[in-house]
C-alpha cells in the first residue's frame, strides 16, 4: 500500500509515497539518488491507514535516524506515551515510528552509538520485528536486527544486502547469513559485518 527509501548522500534523505512502487519512482525521478548506503521498504498497513506519512522509512524528530520495520511492536502505545512526556512529537499512526524515536532518545540520553542504542531499545519492546536502521551521524554504518520475523544478509564483493528473504539478494551474491532471533547485525563499510546477540 506504500513504499519508501532512505539514502545517505550528504544528509539523510527520505522519500515515501502511498501506492505502488511506480508511484514512488515517479515521485523521486528528479531527486539526487546516488548513495553508498540506503534502504527501501514496501508496506502492508497494520497500524494506520495507507498514506505518505505512514509509509516507511520513519525518522526520528531530529531527522538523524531512519528505520524500516516488518512486524509489530505490541507495547508501542505505552512507549509512545512515555516518549511524549519527554517532548517527542509523532507524525504517523504507526508502531514503527515509536521505535525510531526510542532509539534516538536512548542514543541522546545515554550518549551511545547506534548499535548500542538499537540494542537497548529492542530490550524494551514486545513483539516481532525485522528492522534496518541508518544514522546520519554514522554514515558508514547500517544496523539490522530480528525477532520472530525473517532477516537475511547477503555478503557481496565490497557490498552487503539486507532483505526479508534471500530471493532479491541471490542475483547479487549467493553468500547469505540468516540472522537468528535476538541477533543484531552491524554492517560497517570499512570493517564489514559483525553479528551480536
pLDDT digits (tens), the chain, 197 positions: 888 899 998 899 999 988 888 888 898 898 888 999 999 988 665 666 667 787 879 999 999 999 999 999 999 999 999 999 999 999 999 999 999 999 999 999 999 999 999 999 999 999 999 999 999 999 999 999 999 999 999 999 999 999 999 998 999 999 999 999 999 999 999 999 999 98
Alpha helices in the chain (DSSP H): 21-28, 76-85, 95-110, 114-124
Separation between Cα atoms, residue 141 and residue 67, nearest integer Å: 13
pLDDT of residue 47: 62
pTM, two decimal places:
0.92
The radius of gyration of the chain's CA atoms, rounded to the nearest angstrom, is 16
Amino acid at each position: 500500500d506504500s513504499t519508501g527509501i532512505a539514502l545517505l548522500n550528504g544528509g539523510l534523505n527520505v522519500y515515501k509515497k502511498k501506492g505502488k512502487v511506480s508511484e514512488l519512482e515517479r515521485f523521486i525521478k528528479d531527486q539526487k539518488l546516488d548513495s553508498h548506503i540506503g534502504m527501501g521498504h514496501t508496506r502492508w498497513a497494520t497500524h494506520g491507514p495507507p498514506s505518505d506519512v505512514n509509509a516507511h522509512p520513519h525518522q526520528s524528530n531530529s531527522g538523524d535516524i531512519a528505520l524500516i520495520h516488518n512486524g509489530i511492536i505490541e507495547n508501542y502505545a505505552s512507549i509512545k506515551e512515555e516518549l511524549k512526556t519527554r517532548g517527542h512529537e509523532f507524525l504517523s499512526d504507526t508502531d514503527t515510528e515509536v521505535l525510531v524515536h526510542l532509539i534516538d532518545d536512548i542514543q541522546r540520553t545515554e550518549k551511545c552509538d547506534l548499535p548500542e542504542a538499537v540494542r537497548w531499545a529492542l530490550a524494551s519492546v514486545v513483539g516481532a520485528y525485522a528492522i534496518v536502521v541508518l544514522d546520519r551521524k554514522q554514515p558508514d554504518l547500517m544496523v539490522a536486527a530480528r525477532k520472530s520475523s525473517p532477516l537475511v544478509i547477503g555478503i557481496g564483493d565490497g557490498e552487503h544486502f539486507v532483505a526479508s528473504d534471500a530471493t532479491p539478494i541471490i542475483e547479487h551474491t549467493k553468500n547469505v547469513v540468516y540472522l537468528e532471533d535476538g541477533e543484531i547485525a552491524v554492517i560497517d563499510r570499512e570493517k564489514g559485518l559483525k553479528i551480536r546477540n
